[in-house]
Amino acid sequence: MDELQLEGITKGYLGVQALKGVSLSVKRGSIHALAGQNGAGKSTLVKILSGAETPDGGTIRLGGEIVRFREPNDAQAAGIQTIYQELSLVPSLSVAENIFLGRLPRKGGAVDWQRMYAEARTALARVGFDLDVRRPVASFSVAEQQAVELAKALHKDARVLLLDEPTSTLPAPDVQKLFAVLRRVAAEGVTLLYISHRMDELYSLCDSVTVLRDGIAAAELTIADSHPSDVVTAMVGQSLEGSIADAALRGERSPRLGAGPSEDVLLSVRGLSEDDKVSAVDFDLYRGEVLGITGLIGSGQSELAGLLAGARRSSEGSIRLDDKKVAFSAPRDAIRRGIGLLPQDRKAEGFIPDLGVAANISLASLPMFSRFSVIDGRKEKKAAQEMVKRMGMKVSSVNQPMKTLSGGTQQKGILARWLVRDARILICDEPTRGVDVGAKEDMYELLRDFARGGGTVVIASSEISEAMMCDRVLVMARGRVVAEFDHDEIDPHGQAILQRLA
């Protein structure tokens, strides 16, 4: 029986049609994937199902009955719960208080703490976790907090769970734990709608997939009878055969992003440490090289990237650039020496949301666009327009606020900033996190062009397939570099790297 049915759902914003008659059906107890490029309509559809938005047209049926949601409370009352990429927990409250948030059990006018603790333990046991429900939720790992979020949703008698990129901050072992929980929940009859850009996750977890493209349902596929490349083709409207992304999907050796390093050492790191985050890291970065630094989330690769770009302060060790010792007390010190950073959290650290595309692109090069401390708007606009064209950015104008762009276009805007600045070294921390496969391919090509034009790139990534595209890969575990591989030494599935992470 179909638990969730959407028929002809439409939604428009200021003349832009986000959804154009989307229909889909999800069987009770199944795990159904929703895939599509940024801007395809996934987020709009989730907002409608969660009650955050109302559709302009179409029908939603739950268990065969037509439902209408005017606000999130309506969807939750009907049994639709949403788990977002950013968890909606209150860090200072206990696990039990978070599970019962807004509906604490009472006895004689007072909170019934014993009942709440007992039921919280039962809710957690349902998802396979045994936590101290009296402790603040902030004291637990991200994976354990994810379990609390799930227990909270199921305790509200969820019939349908919407999961929006739930693994984006989880290390690989915890992803598998989450999948085991989700399979158990589905077996109990809960229906799951799972959203992710990661094809390996969809084909490991889900039963079927709906692919959205430009606001329409472009394809309905069963996982058993399709291949990840079929999903990608439906997403972008054309085959990516022979591309970097396609090689990763097929488990083939990825082509190098760079042309291969020179013998000229550009940057040298010795004994670089940051308290308990990074420990005694040594390596040389060669001019023209694309260097990958990989490890499980929390292994230290992101912290190392921040140290190289001046976004973090080292406690020990040294960095030499052009054979001269340098010290970065702030990002501006690294920027002056030709080092640019694409941060992991682009929304919080990568751009100013309310400023336009042009203003964000010029941020690191203001002296180039100003005279007597006054910005030359025409010059700034011209440079931004050239970058938008060069990078294939989908914007209405260079004055469009960055916060309104897709994740992939935002990332291109940050990269454009460093190209305008003529950066020599790009430090990329999880450069394709949260972007779709089409945007990933664009980013890889842009980084390849930068490297083959004489630039040097460091890619810190928890995605092994991404690191395998580099000329050389450093593997990190517990803040230390535990292995080093040349591109040609790595097998297509990255088993050599995985063995060092075990």
The residue out of 189, 210, 245 marking a domain boundary is: 245
Report how far residue 343's alpha carbon sits from residue 311's, in angstroms, rounded to the nearest whole number: 9
Lookup: tokens for 90? 């209150």
Same-domain status, 251 and 209: no
Q: DSSP for 152-219?
A: HHHHTT-SEEEEESTTTT--HHHHHHHHHHHHHHHHTT-EEEEE-S-HHHHHHH-SEEEEEETTEEEE
User: What is the domain extent for residue 447?
Assistant: 246-338+424-502
Report how far residue 474's alpha carbon sits from residue 489's, in angstroms, rounded to the nearest whole number: 12
Same-domain status, 428 and 412: no
The residue out of 245, 279, 297 marking a domain boundary is: 245
What distance, in Å, lies between the first and last C-alpha atoms of the chain? 42
Inside any domain, residue 187: yes
Same-domain status, 113 and 198: yes
Report how far residue 154's alpha carbon sits from residue 157's, in angstroms, rounded to the nearest whole number: 5
User: What pLDDT does 493 receive?
Assistant: 64
In sequence order, the β-bridge partners of residue 209 are: 33, 221
Same-domain status, 296 and 225: no
- CB of 402 within 8 A of CB of 351? yes
Q: DSSP for 45-89?
A: HHHHHTTSS--SEEEEEETTEEE--SSHHHHHHHTEEEE-SS---
pLDDT-flagged residues of the chain (< 70)? 1, 239-255, 259, 261, 492-495, 498, 501-502
Same-domain status, 56 and 96: yes
Inside any domain, residue 240: yes
User: What pLDDT does 253 receive?
Assistant: 58
What is the phi/psi pair of residue 167, to 5°?
-105, 5
120 membership: H or E segment, kind and range: helix 113-126
Lookup: tokens for 304? 């190392």
User: What pLDDT does 224 receive?
Assistant: 93
Report how far residue 455's alpha carbon sits from residue 419's, in angstroms, rounded to the nearest whole number: 10
Inside any domain, residue 344: no
- To the nearest whole number, what is the mean pLDDT of the chain? 87
Helices 142-155 & 172-187 angle (0-180, nearest 10): 10
Residue 63 zone, left/alpha/beta (φ > 0; ψ -120 to 50; rest): left
Report how far residue 432's alpha carbon sits from residue 496's, in angstroms, rounded to the nearest whole number: 23
Report how far residue 429's alpha carbon sits from residue 384's, in angstroms, rounded to the nearest whole number: 24
Inside any domain, residue 316: yes
Inside any domain, residue 407: yes
Same-domain status, 177 and 274: no
- CB of 231 within 8 A of CB of 202? yes
Inside any domain, residue 147: yes
> What is the per-residue burial (b if ≥16 Cβ within 10 Å, else e) of 7-37?
eebbbeeeeeebbbebebbbeebbbbbbbbb
Inside any domain, residue 343: no
DSSP 8-class letter at 403: G
Nearest to 16 by CA among 60, 56, 70, 71: 56
Nearest to 91 by CA among 50, 165, 149, 52: 149
- In the block, tokens 């019962």 appear at 100
The residue out of 406, 421, 436 marking a domain boundary is: 421
CATH number at residue 97: 3.40.50.300
Lookup: tokens for 331? 């990002």
Inside any domain, residue 346: no
Same-domain status, 222 and 240: yes
Same-domain status, 119 and 21: yes
- pLDDT tens, 22-41? 999 999 999 999 988 777 88
Lookup: tokens for 270? 């010795």
Report how far residue 33's alpha carbon sits from residue 42's, in angstroms, rounded to the nearest whole number: 11
User: What pLDDT does 141 receive?
Assistant: 81
Per the structure, how many domains does the chain have? 3
Same-domain status, 7 and 107: yes
Same-domain status, 59 and 76: yes
> Chain centroid to CA 412: how far?
15
Which 3 state secondary structure label does DSSP give 434?
coil
Nearest to 471 by CA among 454, 453, 484: 484
User: What pLDDT does 443 receive?
Assistant: 86
What is the phi/psi pair of residue 432, to 5°?
-120, 20
Same-domain status, 82 and 220: yes
Lookup: tokens for 447? 């980084």
Same-domain status, 405 and 452: no
